[in-house]
Amino acid sequence: MLHVGSHAGFVKSHMRVAAVVLFALSALGCHSNPPDVFTFEGRRYEQISAAVIEAMRAEGFQVDRNDPRLGVFTSKPKTSPTLLEFFKLDNSNLAQTWESTVNQQRRRVRVTVEPADLPETPDAETLAAMTQVTVNPLPPTFEQPEGLLDLRVTVFVDRAHKPLWRVETTTRRLSTHARDPALEDRHMQPIYWEPISRDPLMERRLMRRIIECTIASPQVADAVTADVNQSGSM
């Protein structure tokens, strides 16, 4: 004979599992439109930070900074492939491939995590009315993260420049570049990199991978099992 209490626990546990499954399917199904901001619970932070590193490596980026304490993850610059490197899948469309062919370009990734309820920066009028202002407040740390956290992905596109180009009018092959000791001291010669834009397509690809890695992680299955066992014992 099935008791009312056990039946309620059975229904509750299955509803919890169904909710997790629906979340996973919805996140995996929305491949074309991943969220710009991924909000998650602080208790999943260790798992999410591991998913960030896994996603960056899956897209071929070499990790430069892995700082879970401050919630900052960056990559080393990665050169964008040209038309002759069609076997590399860094570019998301033909326009990006052509742009990186006629220019020397590279990409850099920066992933940040911050509290979802982080207060907005006050405007100038509000700052003027304050009696005490902290100019450089300390950034939040995540040794024991709690509450909701927001994750954002930014991909910068840099373009190489060679200053002081001396153009030869007869043929371009004979053109040269003049030297400037002042530019060399500033590390702007023989080449320097200028950020020109962001790559929203790569940002979506990385965000999608982070969410997929999070859902596919064994820790998620263990957490769901623990939740079901706990609810079933009530």
pLDDT value at residue 24: 44
Instruction: State residue 142's pLDDT score.
Output: 80
For residue 151, the model assigns a pLDDT of 95
pTM: 0.65
Q: Note down pLDDT in tens along the chain; length 234 residues.
A: 444 444 444 444 444 444 443 444 454 444 458 889 999 999 899 999 999 999 999 999 999 999 999 999 999 999 888 888 877 777 888 888 888 888 888 899 999 999 988 766 666 666 566 655 556 666 677 878 888 999 999 999 998 877 655 566 676 666 555 565 665 665 555 677 888 889 999 999 999 999 988 876 555 444 433 433 443 444
The torsion of the CA quartet 35, 211, 118, 148, rounded to 10 degrees, works out to: 120
Count of beta carbons in the 10 Å neighbourhood of residue 26: 9
Calculate Rg over the CA atoms of the chain.
Answer: 25
Burial 83-120 (b: 16+ CB within 10 A, else e): eeeeeeebbeeeebbebbbeebbbbbbebbbbbeeeee
Q: What's residue 199's pLDDT? A: 92
Q: Phi first, then psi: what are they for 114, rounded to 5°?
A: -150, 160
- How many angstroms separate the CA atoms of 116 and 123, rounded? 20
Angstrom CA distances, 111 to 77, 125, 144, 206, stand at 14, 31, 19, 10
Position 19 scores a pLDDT of 46
